[in-house]
């Protein structure tokens, strides 16, 4: 196997602390969280105390000013343990950068320390009942009225939506201007007119709270806009490479975990008088998966290296998301097959990981959209 050279000894020490934290504070409770449909709020505060949230933020706001690899460590360890209910990455690596890069100093000082501590849980509300990967189709509006914007509309499939205290809302400030009429707003969950709908019952990722959000004449100060009015779509395009990279990182980690579980299972499980791992078909399947995961790992690690230098471009990030999630689904399906009937039992981690993996080819932009973006870049 090709050794990973991306992470320093300090990163690996952090990995050990993250792994210890998750094995103590999350693994024993994840099954219960799957039943209730969301993780316990205390985990956010404990993660904040452990330095696992928004570690990349500057110390000006209480962060560790760490590089992106610390975020990658958290994503990888969550993926390795199959803890798909934990929405830390969306909070730390997607929402926080929007506030850091486009928020006023007043907004940054008001909110970022609370994101770091876990006092506030965040979400980003892009998807609507009639607008998914096509963000230009957003119908939610924000109309300037004096010193406030009035927001009306609805959102769906919002990760962390049920627990969220603060939401970035994608809305149209000029519905006639297409992409150039889109803006981003910070909305606190207790704002009058803002309502959370039911937690959505999903095929997988059952412990991750995913909700509908509704906005009826929700008034927010005009200072709550991120950046400039009409620049929201450009900001989204600017930040999506990191979002898609985080999806790729998690997908590879999940695939690696699935292979490890399957190696252990096939070596222990007997059929026709010998271990399943001794059959040629099993050995060939394991060899194929190990090779494809290794190829994916080298590519995604290189994408992380480019991202550290600020050189990860949109098409390459898109390739990583598309390739890694397709590979993840392929590997998980093969691993379920090698587990036989037990692979379809919810008590086995491979079954839950298989159900959890499927949506990754859909969110952060469907893989069909990823291919379209790649094709346009050729």
Residue 373's pLDDT is 95
> In 41-193, where do the E strands start and end?
122-125, 141-145, 148-159, 166-172, 182-188
Residue 58's pLDDT is 96
Residue 198's pLDDT is 85
Residue 376's pLDDT is 96
String of b and e for 41-51 (b: at least 16 CB within 10 Å)? eebbebbbebb
Quick one: tokens of 62? 């209480």
- In angstroms, the CA 366 to CA 133 distance is 7
What is each CA distance from 106 to 114, 226, 351, 356, in whole angstroms? 13, 11, 46, 38
Mean pLDDT calculated for residue range 116-141: 87
**Per DSSP, what are the bridge partners of residue 195?**
214
pLDDT at 130 over 80: no
String of b and e for 104-119 (b: at least 16 CB within 10 Å)? eeebbebbbbbbbbbe
Quick one: tokens of 345? 């039992």
Quick one: tokens of 347? 């008590």
The dihedral formed by the CA atoms of 162, 168, 173 and 176, expressed in degrees to the nearest 10:
-80
| 243 given a catalytic annotation | yes
> Among 160, 23, 35, which residue's Cα sits nearest to residue 82?
23
Report pLDDT digits (tens) over 287-327. Answer: 999 999 999 999 999 999 999 999 999 999 999 999 999 99
What percentage of the chain has pLDDT greater than the value 90?
90
With beta carbons less than 8 A apart as the criterion, state whether 358 and 314 touch: no
Residue 132's pLDDT is 64
Coil, strand or helix: which one is 51?
A: coil
pLDDT at 133 over 80: no
- In angstroms, the CA 159 to CA 87 distance is 7
Q: How confident is residue 134, by pLDDT bands cut at 50, 70 and 90? A: low
> Largest alpha-carbon pair distance within the chain?
79
Report pLDDT digits (tens) over 245-295. Answer: 999 999 999 999 999 999 999 999 998 999 999 999 999 999 999 999 999
With beta carbons less than 8 A apart as the criterion, state whether 241 and 314 touch: yes
pLDDT at 138 over 70: yes
Q: How confident is residue 179, by pLDDT bands cut at 50, 70 and 90? A: confident
Count of Cβ atoms closer than 10 Å to residue 70 Cβ: 20
What pTM was estimated for this model as a whole?
0.94
String of b and e for 320-356 (b: at least 16 CB within 10 Å)? bbbbbbbbbbebbebbbebbeeebeeeebebbbbbbb
What percentage of the chain has pLDDT greater than the value 70?
99
Q: Which residues contact 121 (CB under 8 A, 6 or more apart)?
A: 41, 44, 87, 91, 160, 163, 164, 165, 166
Q: Which of 243, 264, 288, 311 is catalytic?
A: 243
Q: How confident is residue 193, by pLDDT bands cut at 50, 70 and 90? A: very high
Report pLDDT digits (tens) over 36-74. Answer: 999 999 999 999 999 999 999 999 999 999 999 999 999
Count of Cβ atoms closer than 10 Å to residue 96 Cβ: 26
């Amino acid at each position: 196997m090709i050794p990973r050279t991306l992470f320093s000894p300090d990163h690996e020490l952090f990995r050990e602390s993250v792994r210890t934290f998750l094995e103590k504070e999350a693994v024993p409770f994840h099954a219960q969280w799957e039943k209730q449909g969301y993780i316990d709020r205390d985990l956010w505060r404990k993660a904040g105390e452990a330095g696992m949230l928004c570690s990349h933020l500057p110390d000006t706001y209480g962060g560790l000013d760490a590089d992106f690899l610390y975020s990658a460590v958290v994503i990888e360890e969550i993926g390795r343990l199959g803890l798909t209910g934990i929405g830390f990455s969306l909070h730390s690596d997607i929402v926080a950068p929007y506030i850091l890069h486009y928020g006023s100093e007043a907004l940054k000082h008001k909110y970022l320390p609370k994101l770091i501590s876990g006092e506030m849980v965040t979400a980003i509300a892009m998807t609507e009942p009639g607008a998914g990967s096509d963000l230009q189709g957003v119908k939610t509006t924000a109309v300037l009225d004096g010193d406030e914007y009035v927001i009306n509309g609805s959102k769906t499939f919002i990760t962390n939506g049920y627990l969220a205290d603060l939401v970035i809302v994608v809305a149209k400030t000029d519905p006639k201007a297409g992409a150039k009429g889109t803006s981003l707003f910070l909305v606190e969950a207790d704002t009058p007119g803002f309502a959370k709908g039911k937690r959505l019952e999903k095929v997988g990722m059952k412990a991750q709270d995913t909700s509908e959000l509704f906005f009826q004449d929700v008034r927010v100060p005009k200072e709550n806009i991120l950046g400039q009015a009409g620049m929201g779509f450009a900001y989204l395009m600017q930040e999506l490479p990191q979002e898609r990279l985080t999806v790729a990182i998690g997908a590879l980690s999940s695939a690696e975990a699935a292979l490890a579980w399957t190696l252990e299972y096939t070596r222990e499980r007997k059929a026709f008088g010998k271990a399943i791992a001794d059959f040629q078909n099993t050995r060939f399947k394991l060899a194929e998966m190990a090779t494809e995961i290794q190829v994916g790992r080298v590519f995604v690690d290189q994408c992380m290296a480019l991202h550290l230098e600020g050189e990860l471009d949109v098409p390459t990030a898109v390739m990583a998301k598309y390739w890694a999630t397709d590979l993840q689904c392929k590997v998980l399906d093969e691993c379920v097959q090698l587990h036989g009937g037990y692979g379809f039992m919810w008590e086995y981690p491979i079954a839950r990981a298989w159900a959890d993996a499927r949506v990754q080819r859909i969110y952060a932009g469907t893989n069909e959209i990823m291919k379209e973006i790649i094709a346009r870049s050729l």
